[in-house]
Structure 1
């Protein structure tokens, strides 16, 4: 009996585990650390802000908010020796039609010039409008500003000097929200009536590119209240 019992203990059934010896399992960490969560949360917020801003740029671009105003203000774009570029010419045609429709008693053209230019954007625009039959008394050039912000601040100063306050801004659709924001910050009661013609609004690819540019430019302005250089875009 003793021998049989011994053999079973060695080669037979395995011995029962000792109830006093428990295996201690360490907790398994799952999920992200707080730092990672903060990073992901920040990225989600950034994407949301950019997305909402792009949506606002697109929404305002689609709206023609024309109404009786003290002035139609044409935002400047490139000119070549006194001849408006295609972008600027389409803005001027739209502004001329608004004036002929009686929306405002005056058209204000804006935009400075680069070193060596014989004309400023404002002067080239004024001359073009007069050539189309708009009386010189109804056109005023404000040849200041190297970008949208500088030009609109100059227009706001002119408005205060002359005693008027409301402006209907004419530019390309994707530029409308940023221009309106800057004009209102400068003290103008500003609304927008974007042109629907010209090279900037002809293709989907061009439209998407300018929505992208304007989204970044508007975010930069809202963060810094400074202008970003977009002279090469024709949007100022």
Structure 2
């Protein structure tokens, strides 16, 4: 009898986990594939890990998306956002600025936000830069797995924003890891923002 109850409890808990994962991950995946940018005043590129003083693959994909948007006339300014991590030789924002300039983006079109260590801070500090320069509408650029949470946080902060998902790295393990991480972060955001 005890064994039967344990099996039923395990099945029930597994079902709860599966339903939770599906309910959280499907919207993340959908938003990351279906979101389209709307022209605005500034493109906000959210930071990610550096390799030495160079953008990682995930960050390069974000920056290339920002370059595409800028060159297509979606916005006249780019805000690069990210502080210097303990294992980084320069701030993420400084590395992003260097990358953009090497790719032909004019220096006077780039605004640096180098005080933030997480997505909430990225957006809050970028909002302050937007306010200082009279920018009203942003396009948030991050990888597809990160766009939904970024847009939810932007809405909570009162930033008028659309999203432009950059592709994920061509690495199944890294992609699965990023989606799992975002699922946990999104679940935490939902649970603690009430």
TM-score normalised by length of structure 1: 0.70
The yes-or-no answer on 1:212 pairing with 2:180 is yes
Q: Which moved more, 1:82-91 or 1:214-223?
A: 82-91
Structure 1: 5+ residue stretches without partners: 1-31, 226-236
Measured after TM superposition, the shift of residue 113 of structure 1 is 0.7
Q: Deviations over 1:126-164 (max 9, x none)?
A: 121112111111111111211111111111122223222
Q: How many residues align?
A: 185
SS at match of 1:50: helix
1:54 aligned partner: 25
1:89 aligned partner: 60
Structure 2: 5+ residue stretches without partners: none
The yes-or-no answer on 1:165 pairing with 2:136 is yes
The yes-or-no answer on 1:192 pairing with 2:163 is yes
1:122 aligned partner: 93
Q: Give distance in 2, aligned partners of 1:136 and 1:220.
A: 37
Q: Give distance in 2, aligned partners of 1:55 and 1:67.
A: 23
Mapping of 1:1-236 within 5 angstroms? 47-115=18-86, 117-196=88-167, 200-225=168-193
Q: Give distance in 2, aligned partners of 1:168 and 1:123.
A: 20
| Structure with greater strand percent | 2
The 3 A distance-change label for structure 1 pair 43 and 72 is: same
CA RMSD of superposed structures (Å): 2.4
TM-score normalised by length of structure 2: 0.84
Q: Give distance in 2, aligned partners of 1:223 and 1:165.
A: 30
8 Å Cα contact 2:50/2:88 also seen in 1:
no
SS at match of 1:102: coil
Q: Give distance in 2, aligned partners of 1:138 and 1:185.
A: 27
Measured after TM superposition, the shift of residue 177 of structure 1 is 0.5
Measured after TM superposition, the shift of residue 86 of structure 1 is 1.9
8 Å Cα contact 1:63/1:193 also seen in 2:
no
Measured after TM superposition, the shift of residue 208 of structure 1 is 3.0
SS at match of 1:57: helix
Q: Give distance in 1, aligned partners of 2:149 and 2:76.
A: 25
Higher relative contact order (CA 8 A, sep 6+): 2
